[in-house]
Amino acid sequence: MLKKINVADARLGMYIHKICGDWTNHPFWKSTFLLSEQKDLEKLKSCGLTELWIDTAKGLDLLNSEPVTTESAHTESQFCQPAPASKKTEKISLEAELLAAKKIHSKTKEAVTTMFNEARMGKAVQVEEAVVLVDEIAQSMERNSNALLNLIRLKTADEYTYLHSVAVCVLMVALGKQLGLRGEELKQIGIAGLLHDIGKMAIPPEVLNKPGKLTDKEFDVVKDHPRRGWEILKTIYQTDEPALDVCLHHHERMDGMGYPEKLSANNLTLHARMGAICDVYDAITSERCYKKGWEPAEAIKKMTAWKDGHFDETVFRAFIKTIGIYPNGTLLKLKSGRLGIVIEQSEKSVITPLVKVFFSIRANGHIPAELVDLSRSTDSIVSAENPQQWGLDLDKI
């Protein structure tokens, strides 16, 4: 029997069927689970919500016999009154959001580092903080998605494993929003991005960080990381299907030539297709111990050539609409004879981003920085450029 109770009356052994209220107001990955841990009971009672539904057929009932609301044949949408519609998040400038985004980015990196190191040492992985951080990532992107999209490209080879996971999380949330995903599903794909590479902790460091070419045997070890990660996540309390799915299948391809299960299009979920695109884009644009990263626009061009067999075409188009043909961090040559770096995408067109101009080609030197909105300017893009060819370090711009 389903029964609505006060959160204050919850006790260990109850089976939670539905927590009343918006998922952003409680720290649980699921609304349906067996309440078996004291720490979860304490979180439930301190999260500020007042009511929930329990299933007495699957867990304990109330200690007393006071009358309560019961249901036996209601649909899921009838269990709880919907939370009042939240006020639409106000859009703010990139500059205003950057400070908050930097703090979120740093905290998320610390959380991923801790979780992955716990997995490496065979300890139980604590994911509670990460769940909260995914909410913060989604909220930051509601205010201005460009802030975090600018930060994800900043990583060193030594930090790659951890910051790659943060970047894929950000990209998954951004892509999910573009595809119209909302609420719990958007939260779950963010968690999936954060945890998709946890299986790399089962790879010996000397193989994972090898600067030279891997042997066939070493490559087989690396290719096993999706399955090892799936095994790790299966042991984590309340790991939902999107995280398990993306972890196991983010290296699968539409043509069935991926790994570990060689699944083809008909057997790949939307979440797995999203994970494959976000993982590849961040991987090929990142500096690794054995290679330099490609420039963002070059990466999009390469991925476009691969998409027929590698990626889902519809999801890939949505990805380009999310990050642009000239993603944040791209160095552009403009018709005016200036160089500038893309710092923000335009809502009007993927080919008219906001550019921070800082270099004169004619004078062969730096000029006072100027923001140029190409959607409102007579200036236009000539080409994407390689910063190394101009002797420029874009991280210092």
Q: How confident is the model at residue 31 (pLDDT cuts 50, 70, 90)?
A: low
Task: Measure the CA–CA gap between 175 and 60, rounded to whole angstroms.
Answer: 41
Q: How many CB atoms lie within 10 A of CB 161?
A: 20
For the residues 376-390, what does the mean pLDDT come to?
A: 95
Using one digit for the tens of pLDDT, what is the confidence trace for 225-239? 999 999 999 988 668
Task: Measure the CA–CA gap between 294 and 289, rounded to whole angstroms.
Answer: 14
Query: Which of the listed CATH numbers 1.10.150.170, 1.10.3210.10, 1.10.3720.10, 3.40.640.10 matches domain 94-323?
Result: 1.10.3210.10
Q: Where are the domains of the chain?
A: 2-78, 94-323, 331-396
Using one digit for the tens of pLDDT, what is the confidence trace for 139-169? 999 999 999 999 998 887 778 989 999 999 9
Using one digit for the tens of pLDDT, what is the confidence trace for 274-333? 999 999 999 999 988 778 899 999 999 999 998 678 999 999 999 999 999 999 999 999
Predicted TM-score of the model (pTM)? 0.77
